[in-house]
Structure 1
């Protein structure tokens, strides 16, 4: 059980939406908290140990993980066991190769996003050389994920602790067009059975133009954005994944959560 929570802040600025939810929930549970800035993490000014819960943006979380001597988990956006649910071609490349592809007018548009944890540009569809502007000065050696462009009618995020979907939030498209619940449940079980699933994570699904439910991507639970998910399950999700990272073993979600008070 964690004895103190360290929450990233923007100095004198307001807390982010996710941080605000977690702070309110931890206060309700009577958990001690301290706020920190990115600079403090970079300089290793926080007295972190196995009793410390840390919440913040990806750069801060990576700094905390390294300070604690825990291995940074590699991204697993498209788990091998779930590839059949992509319903589209997905492959890995480099920005340099994609730049050459885009200059070739005979090639079809392609969706491109960073393959590393720290995002140097926002994933988007590249249709022509005019779109190269959005890459800025990002290294052309950078690894990226590429995918065939498809039409999404809706996009949802399933928040998962263990094998339980604790929230399903729409974030783009038609919010009334919900992905197949059975497909999501079977994907969650298959991911867990593969041995690759973290204790808590988000798995995004959407509905394609032809009506099929398809996997969009998977996001690890230690630095995860919140849509409509309530504060309590969102906090439990972050706690479960952080506990697993610190313990170096699979831990039941109920062991990772702080007391509800």
Structure 2
């Protein structure tokens, strides 16, 4: 079982909420009795599959909310595998960071420097949409967890742990996000410190199938439940879970 699922299991049981573990195949075969007040947690395809069975449209991806554009500190643009391939064949072109747009992750986001890196695109069609950005150097990266507009924890996950975030910039970013209407009931925002010393947005993450990085079970459970209630239109936390 993934660490996140262990945290959630612990958090739900601490609240006295009945839980049941299941395999993805059971869900795919529609062998689980689902209702909107049954929390389903797991990998992204599992949660989206449960929403589909409930007749709920999956939420759109929003890795870079417009309200947080001032915190990017790098140029971002939309592209395709075809365009990236053409770019890499030009030896004079600078390196580019690219990742698939949306939730169908044909490859992991990474820096592409030369035609030899095309190996990582083998599973992606030429028309696959991409999000590209200028290459920057991150000194450290952190995930900030939010439940109903309130930060409930920050966890370091990459780089030098002694390089801290500019907390004032983080709070300003969260204030703008919440006031824009782009925030969800439960989510996280990844921030990092660039080699320039600036605190910048890495990406926004929806509040389901979310990497916990050791967040306390109580907070991880509250975040997951808050987002599920929002997705399914429930006013109160689900009384039971799967």
Task: Give the distance between the partners of 2:38 and 2:237, measured in 1 at CA.
Answer: 12
- Show structure 1 runs of 4+ deviating over 4 A: none
215-224 or 181-190: bigger deviation: 181-190
* CA positional deviation for 1:154: 0.5
Match in the other structure for 1:126: 112
1:207 aligns with 2:228: no
Counterpart of 2:147?
161
CA contact (8 A) 2:37 2:238 kept: no
Q: Secondary structure at the match of 2:20?
A: strand
Summarize the Cα distance change of 1:257–1:53 in structure 2 as closer, same or farther, 3 Å threshold.
closer
Deviation of residue 258 (structure 1)? 6.8
Where in structure 1 are there 5+ consecutive unaligned residues? 1-14
Which of 152, 163, 166 is the matching residue for 1:180? 166
User: Would the aligned equivalents of 1:22 and 1:231 in 2 still touch at CA under 8 Å?
Assistant: yes
Among candidates 29, 49, 57, match of residue 63 of structure 1: 49
Aligned length: 240
Structure 2: gaps (5+ residues): none
List per-residue Cα deviations over 1:120-160 (Å, max 9, x = no partner). 11110000111111122211211111010001111000011
Match of 2:223 in 1: 237
Q: 2:72 maps to what in 1?
A: 86
Counterpart check, 1:97 vs 2:83: yes
Answer yes or no: is 1:256 the counterpart of 2:242.
Answer: no
Does 35-44 or 191-200 show the bigger shift?
35-44
- Secondary structure of the corresponding residue to residue 40 of structure 2: strand
1:145 to 122, 131, 137: 131
> 3-state DSSP class of the match of 1:122?
coil
- Alignment check: 8 A CA contact 1:240 1:257 kept: no
CA root-mean-square deviation: 1.5
SS of equivalent residue, structure 2 residue 68: helix
TM-score normalized by the length of structure 1 = 0.88
Deviation at 1:99, TM superposition (A): 1.1
Q: Secondary structure at the match of 1:36?
A: coil
- Distance in 2, matches of 1:258 and 1:106, equals 59
Q: Which has the higher relative contact order, 1 or 2, with Cα contacts under 8 A spaced 6 or more apart?
A: 2
Contact 2:39 2:238 in 1 (8 A): no
Structure 1 residue 164: deviation in Å? Answer: 1.1
Does structure 1 conserve the Cα–Cα contact (< 8 Å) formed by 2:37 and 2:239?
no
Deviation per CA, 1:76-117, whole angstroms, max 9, x where unpaired? Answer: 000111111100001111111111111111110000111111
Contact 1:59 1:118 in 2 (8 A): no
